[in-house]
Structure 1
Amino acid sequence: MEHNLNKHISGRFNEELENVRNHVLSMGGLVEQQLNLALDAVNSADADKARKVSENDYKVNAMEVNIDEECTRIIAKRQPAASDLRLVVAIAKTIADLERIGDEAERIARVALDSFTKDQQDLLLNIDNMGRQVSRMLHDVLDAFARMDVQKAFEVHKEDAKVDREYEALTRQIMTYMMEDPRSIPKIMDLIWSVRSLERIGDRCQNIAEYVIYFVNGKDIRHTSQEDIEKSL
Structure 2
Amino acid sequence: MTEHTNKQFDADLQSVRSQFLQMGGLVEAMIQEAIDSVPTGDMDLVDKVREREKQVNRFEVEIDERIGLILARHQPTAIDLRTMLAVSKMLTDMERCGDEAEKIANTVRRMYEADQRFMPVIELRHMANSVGRMLHDVLDAFARLDPILAAHVVRSDKEVDREWKGALRNLITYMMEDPRTISRAIDMVFIARALERIGDHAKNMAERVIYLVRGADVRHTGAKNAEREARGETDADESATSASNSETTSASSSDA
TM > 0.5 fold call: yes
Tell me which amino acid in the other structure corresponds to 2:138.
V
Q: Which has the larger radius of gyration?
A: 2
Q: Does the 8 Å contact 2:152/2:227 carry over to 1?
A: no
User: What's the TM-score, normalizing by structure 1?
Assistant: 0.90
> For residues 52-63 of structure 1, what are the structure 2 equivalents within 5 Å?
52-63=48-59
Counterpart in 2 of 1:5? none
Tell me which amino acid in the other structure corresponds to 2:185.
I
Distance 1:147 1:171 in 2: 36
Distance 1:193 1:119 in 2: 14
> For residues 131-150 of structure 1, what are the structure 2 equivalents within 5 Å?
131-150=128-147
Report the CA distance between 1:189 and its aligned residue.
1.1
> For residues 172-191 of structure 1, what are the structure 2 equivalents within 5 Å?
172-191=169-188
Counterpart in 2 of 1:104? 100
Tell me which amino acid in the other structure corresponds to 1:97.
D
Count of residues paired in the alignment: 222
Listed as ranges, the gaps of 5+ residues in structure 2 are 232-256
Report the CA distance between 1:40 and its aligned residue.
1.1
Counterpart in 1 of 2:90? 94
Report the CA distance between 1:118 and its aligned residue.
7.4
Q: Does the 8 Å contact 1:90/1:212 carry over to 2?
A: yes
Counterpart in 1 of 2:32? 36
Counterpart in 2 of 1:6? none
Identity %: 45
Please provide the CA RMSD for this pair: 1.6
Listed as ranges, the gaps of 5+ residues in structure 1 are 1-8
Bigger relative CO (Cα 8 Å, ≥ 6 apart): 1
Distance 1:91 1:56 in 2: 20
> For residues 203-218 of structure 1, what are the structure 2 equivalents within 5 Å?
203-218=200-215
Counterpart in 1 of 2:77? 81
Give CA deviations for 1:41-79 in whole Å, capped at 9, x if unaligned.
113221221122113211110100000000011111111
- Displaced runs of 4+ in structure 1, greater than 4 A? none
Tell me which amino acid in the other structure corresponds to 2:76.
P
